[in-house]
Structure 1
Amino acid sequence: MPIHVRHYEPSDRDDVISLWDDVFPDSTGHNDPAASIQRKYDADDGLFFVAELDATVIGTVVAGYDGHRGWIYSLAVTPTQQRRGIGSTLIRHAEQALSNLDCPKINLQVRSQNDAVVAFYGSLGYDTEQRISMGKRLASHAKSGETSDAPESR
């Protein structure tokens, strides 16, 4: 049965949290899945998608657009379904949604040591750009013991 990509719905919440916990086991506290999901859903920008197989959520992509650049914030595919084209399908879906918004360019971030993910995005036409990514954790979202390092990509 083919996969189906659709918009995230609140009923997907627990499945998405479970997926993200599996795919991003070393995620830090500032990437709390429940809070991230709720904030993205509240943004109501139509750029949060899930991939389903047999009515089971097996992947997600979270994108954004600020009128200047599009962003791929997070791509996740359940480990047992990786390397089957699902990630590529989700990225193409997000790219089309951003293109429909007249977005001229998409950016994304990958941890520098994650060579496999860099290669994956390279295979989809993304190039490494000579930039330094900087971030600042806002006090209202910092948790005790966290540093103000730039946020990791999910």
Structure 2
Amino acid sequence: MAEILTYEDRHFAGVEALWEEVFPTDSPWNKAAEAIPAKLKVQPELFIVAEEAGDVIGTVMAGYDGHRGWLYTVAVKPEHQRRGIGTALLIEAEIRLSRSGCKKTNLQIRAGNEAVAAFYRRHGYLVEERISMGKRFDC
């Protein structure tokens, strides 16, 4: 049975391997070496892992800016999917966000990723007609 925990430094290699497997084409700034140190500076309690027998098998990173919550890097090792681990991670992130005063949570998935969209729909998330825009800072 998976244990849901707040991220600790000992989880780094497992998280890095998981993200490489689940998000192989992700941008360099989303890689573990960049994303994890940045997250640990801001709301580290919202970085959650699923661990089984000492192995990281899932993650979720969340954030709350006082207005909206966001979910990032929701990932479960493929061989552990469909066992409720993603659901457990999602629920834990929602509980922690709610305790912070968060009233609404947003997330983004890549267009065409119907399996992931179906997962979120099963958990009450709806598609909102928005245009997602972003800007990278060179710092």
Shift of 1:116: 0.8
Q: Are residue 116 (structure 1) and residue 115 (structure 2) matched?
A: yes
Q: Look up the match of 2:105.
A: 106
Q: Look up the match of 2:62.
A: 63
Q: Look up the match of 2:36.
A: 37
Which aligned runs of 4 or more in structure 1 are off by greater than 4 angstroms? none
Q: Look up the match of 1:84.
A: 83
Shift of 1:45: 3.9
Q: Look up the match of 2:92.
A: 93
Return closer, same or farther for 1:117/1:109 CA change in 2, 3 Å cut-off: same
Task: Output the TM-score relative to the length of structure 1.
Answer: 0.87
Q: Report the identity percentage.
A: 49
Structure 1 unaligned spans of 5+: 141-154
Q: Which amino acid aligns with 1:46?
A: E
SS of residue in 1 equivalent to 2:45: coil
Q: Counterparts of 2:70 and 2:15 in 1: how far apart (Å)? A: 20
Task: Output the TM-score relative to the length of structure 2.
Answer: 0.96
Q: Which amino acid aligns with 1:30?
A: W
Q: Counterparts of 1:124 and 1:69 in 2: how far apart (Å)? A: 18
Shift of 1:30: 2.7
Q: Counterparts of 1:113 and 1:57 in 2: how far apart (Å)? A: 27
Q: CA RMSD in A?
A: 1.0
Shift of 1:31: 1.6
Q: Counterparts of 1:3 and 1:32 in 2: how far apart (Å)? A: 24
Q: Counterparts of 1:64 and 1:45 in 2: how far apart (Å)? A: 9
